[in-house]
Structure 1
Amino acid sequence: MKTLKLAALAVAVLSATSFSSLVQADISANFGATSNYLWRGVTQSSNDVSVSGGIDYSSESGFYAGTWIGSIDWGVDGTENDFYLGYGGESGDFTYDVGYIYYMYPATGYEDSDFGEVYFNGGYGAFSFGVAYTINSQADDDAPFGTGDLYYSVGYGFDLPNEFGLGLTYGYYDFDSDDAVYGDVDYGHFQIDLSKGDFTLSVSKADDESGDDDTKFVVSWGTSF
């Protein structure tokens, strides 16, 4: 999920899900395809098609765990394999989700790319927010995507007529990297998602510092069972 061109390394985005409505333990699977796999505003598939799938377990207590795999291309074909667990719930009108996720890139050409984050996501009505902090990484500590990086996001979503939905997201990546070596690589990005049923049309734009600042138009499909 991390391909900053200047670092030679990075929602169809991994997004927060509220598990507060679960009434019993459940195992589910998901499958999806997108014309361009974007992660935090940056393409992970060289602006090409990506397919993905995953399996999730969730219990009535709020605990959940799962795994997800998606096709990527950082100059060579590979896969992103995610493993995560956490706890979600609600308090009044406030929803929360706290957990850990590990991003693994097993293909040749993706050495020293794996990393793990702890995250917290919250929501109140139509508003959402989140923060993720890198706690372990195969990258050097003073490099982008090393330990100590922070990612923040805020969002707002609402229903439109004819069962359409509109979501607005702004995210900002604050890298704990050596500016003298890597320069200023912190960046923000904005995304608009128009959805209906299993389909989503997205428009995304990231700052120049991301190394991937072209405006992107993406069509995605996903289902779960």
Structure 2
Amino acid sequence: MRKSLLSLAVLSALVAPSFASAAEEAAEAAVTKEAEPTWTLSSNIGLVSDYYVRGVSQSWHKPALQGGVDLTHSSGFYTGIWGSSISPNTFPDASLEIDAYAGYNGSISAIEGLGYTVGAIGYFYPN
């Protein structure tokens, strides 16, 4: 009997923290779910072997450095900027392409799964 009580006490001591841990994780998940950010900022960077657009090498068949930053809102609004190194052989006096864009993503509640995007984009070549 003494061994059974001792075993039960040891098992209880080992199991109790896992119940407490699970309860804490559930509480943290509830707080995290409620506190979803309305704005999200993301970025990307890459080194590519050749930058092609519509079948034309923008980097004159050489590597290009590319990167961008995107800002999105939970309402569906988005904006961003992206850039790439390019060759002056493709665009005289330019060594950089900058793309700026903004728009809105939405859905049509009357038809499940149907969405839309309205946006604008501009391509800029400094110099």
Fold conserved between structures, TM > 0.5: yes
Aligned to 1:213: none
**What is the rounded CA distance, in whole Å, between the counterparts of 2:116 and 2:46 in structure 1?**
25
Aligned counterpart in structure 2 of residue 63 of structure 1, from 77, 85, 98: 77
Describe the shift of the 1:73–1:24 C-alpha distance in structure 2 as closer, same or farther (beyond 3 A): same
Q: Deviations over 1:33-77 (max 9, x none)?
A: 211111123221112111111111100011001111110114166
**What is the rounded CA distance, in whole Å, between the counterparts of 1:41 and 1:23 in structure 2?**
40
**What is the rounded CA distance, in whole Å, between the counterparts of 1:94 and 1:79 in structure 2?**
37
Give yes or no for the alignment of 1:79 onto 2:99.
no
Q: Normalising to structure 1: TM-score of the pair? A: 0.35
Q: CA deviation at 1:23?
A: 7.0
Describe the shift of the 1:90–1:42 C-alpha distance in structure 2 as closer, same or farther (beyond 3 A): farther
Q: How does 1:91-110 map to 2 (within 5 A)?
A: 91=108, 92-107=112-127
**Structure 1 residue runs of 4+, over 3 Å off?**
none
**What is the rounded CA distance, in whole Å, between the counterparts of 1:41 and 1:98 in structure 2?**
26
Q: How many residues are matched? A: 86
5+ unaligned residues in a row in structure 1: which ranges? 1-21, 108-225
SS across alignment from 1:58: strand
Q: How does 1:90-169 map to 2 (within 5 A)?
A: 90-91=107-108, 92-107=112-127
**Aligned-pair RMSD on alpha carbons?**
2.1
5+ unaligned residues in a row in structure 2: which ranges? 1-35
Amino acid of the structure 1 residue aligned with 2:125: Y
**What is the rounded CA distance, in whole Å, between the counterparts of 2:69 and 2:79 in structure 1?**
9
Q: Once the two structures are aligned, what percentage of the paired residues are identical?
A: 40
Which of the pair is proportionally richer in strand?
A: 1
